[in-house]
């Protein structure tokens, strides 16, 4: 009787163990939460940079010599023409230098005349043996030295006259005065900015752009630029110049956008807004974390939203600093996994609660 009870107990234990294994085998695989995003073209309206209108060409004008500013007939906003005098300093010291140079030149010319006369006299005397050859040679050397002195004094006079012209500064081109750096009566040093003149005919938009730009920052990238106060007034432009490095504090890079025929309302100093051109919103872009490199090709995990499963899909793309630009193999509106791509398998059930920002 005891033996039968033990056999029954063993049978029940084996059956219980077998049932537990079957239940464990048939248990559904838990759904895995993942980060995902819907692949869609980037919108240029999402990234807006604010800047100002600046001239492409401007010059800081100053004197080449030290002096006291005696006149500055232009002010900020004045229109100047090419060659117009826009500042003068006291020319007294420079004028005295010219006079001294003229006197030195006259002295050198007189000494040259004396040396030539002496040389001619010695040449006449040498024919009658009334003088020596050594005396004639000395006279020739004195005449040559006097000629060199005249040439030197002529150069000094030319230099002094040129420096007298430095008492005035003239506009190199027609433009508008955008800044002044010295007032009448002030002693200005050589190279100090007195007036800044800009050409208003060639204008650019200068903006600071950060790393959130969805496309690579490169010369020639098209932008639409509009006035902040009049958004309806827009002009097209392309990047002409990019700062080689970002600002260490703001982490923004300064960009100069050349404008195509801007209207008069785009005045110098006006605040503008720049956004990517419309032709830049056609490509699909994904973060680098969404692309799985395998066997020399790129793949993404595509989510079947009706079944809640994932499948591997091959794409063609180009690596960029901001991620991957998809050139083929993926349709707009497809949901792809953006994190944990190395631990998924085909047909696995996933759960996504929110989209990851591209």
pLDDT tens per residue, range 197-237: 999 888 999 999 887 777 778 888 899 999 988 888 899 99
pLDDT of residue 280: 57
Tell me which of 334 and 85 has the higher pLDDT.
85
Asked if residue 233 lies in contact with residue 265, where contact means CB atoms within 8 angstroms, the answer is yes
Phi-psi region of 323 (alpha: psi -120 to 50; beta: other; left: phi over 0): left
pLDDT tens per residue, range 60-78: 999 999 999 999 999 998 9
Shortest CA distance to 287 belongs to which of 300, 277, 297? 300
> Where does 207-258 have alpha helices with state H?
none
Residue 233: half-sphere exposure toward Cβ, Cα within 13 Å: 15
d(CA 336, CA 352): 10
Q: Within 10 A of 335 (CB to CB), how many other CB atoms are there?
A: 17
Q: Within 10 A of 200 (CB to CB), how many other CB atoms are there?
A: 18
pLDDT tens per residue, range 102-111: 999 999 999 9
pLDDT for 310 beyond 80: yes
296 phi/psi in degrees, rounded to 5 = 75, 10
Tell me which of 351 and 239 has the higher pLDDT.
239
Shortest CA distance to 356 belongs to which of 303, 320, 311? 303
pTM of the entire predicted model: 0.58
Asked if residue 263 lies in contact with residue 204, where contact means CB atoms within 8 angstroms, the answer is no
pLDDT for 27 beyond 70: no
Three-class SS state of 144: helix
Asked if residue 34 lies in contact with residue 304, where contact means CB atoms within 8 angstroms, the answer is no
Q: Name, of 21-35, 152-166, 214-228, 295-309, the range with top average pLDDT.
A: 152-166
Domains of the chain listed by start with CATH number: 32-42+283-351 (2.40.420.20), 46-56+199-280 (2.40.30.170), 61-90+168-196 (2.40.50.100), 92-165 (1.10.287.470)
| pLDDT, mean of residues 250-277 | 90
Q: How far is CA 354 from the centre of its chain?
A: 38
In the chain, the largest separation of any two C-alpha atoms, in whole Å, equals 172
| pLDDT, mean of residues 274-303 | 80
CB neighbour class for 51 (10 Å; exposed up to 12, middle 13-18, buried from 19): buried
pLDDT for 40 beyond 80: no
pLDDT tens per residue, range 152-199: 999 999 999 999 999 999 998 899 999 999 999 999 999 999 999 999
pLDDT tens per residue, range 317-351: 777 766 777 878 888 878 888 887 888 888 888 88
């Amino acid at each position: 009787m005891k033996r039968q009870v033990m056999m029954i107990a063993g049978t029940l234990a084996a059956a219980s163990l077998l049932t537990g294994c079957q239940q464990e085998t048939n248990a559904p695989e838990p759904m895995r939460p993942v980060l995902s995003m819907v692949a869609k073209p980037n919108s240029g309206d999402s990234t807006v940079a604010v800047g100002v209108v600046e001239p492409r060409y401007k010059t800081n004008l100053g004197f080449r010599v030290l002096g006291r500013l005696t006149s500055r007939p232009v002010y900020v906003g004045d229109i100047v023409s090419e060659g117009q005098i826009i500042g003068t300093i006291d020319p007294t010291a420079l004028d005295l230098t010219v006079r001294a140079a003229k006197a030195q030149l006259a002295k050198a010319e007189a000494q040259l005349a004396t040396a030539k006369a002496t040389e001619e006299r010695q040449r006449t005397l040498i024919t009658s043996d009334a003088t020596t050859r050594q005396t004639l040679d000395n006279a020739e050397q004195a005449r040559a030295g006097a000629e060199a002195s005249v040439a030197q004094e002529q150069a000094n006079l030319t230099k002094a006259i040129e420096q007298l012209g430095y008492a005035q500064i003239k506009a190199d081109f027609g433009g508008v005065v955008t800044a002044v750096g010295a007032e009448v009566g002030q002693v200005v040093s050589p190279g100090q900015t007195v007036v800044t003149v800009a050409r208003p005919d060639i204008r650019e938009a200068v903006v600071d752009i950060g790393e959130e730009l969805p496309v690579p920052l490169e010369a020639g990238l098209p932008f639409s630029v509009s006035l902040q106060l009049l958004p309806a007034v827009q002009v097209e432009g392309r990047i002409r110049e990019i700062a080689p490095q970002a600002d260490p504090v703001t982490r923004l890079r300064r960009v100069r956008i050349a404008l195509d025929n801007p209207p008069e309302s785009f005045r110098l100093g006006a605040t503008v807004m720049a956004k990517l051109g419309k032709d830049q919103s056609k490509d699909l872009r994904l973060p680098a974390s969404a692309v799985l490199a395998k066997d020399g090709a790129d793949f993404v995990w595509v989510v079947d939203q009706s079944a809640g499963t994932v499948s591997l899909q091959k794409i063609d793309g180009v690596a960029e600093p901001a991620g991957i630009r998809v050139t083929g193999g993926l349709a707009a509106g497809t949901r792809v996994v953006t994190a944990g791509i190395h631990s998924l398998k085909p047909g696995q059930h996933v759960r996504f609660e929110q989209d990851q920002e591209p």
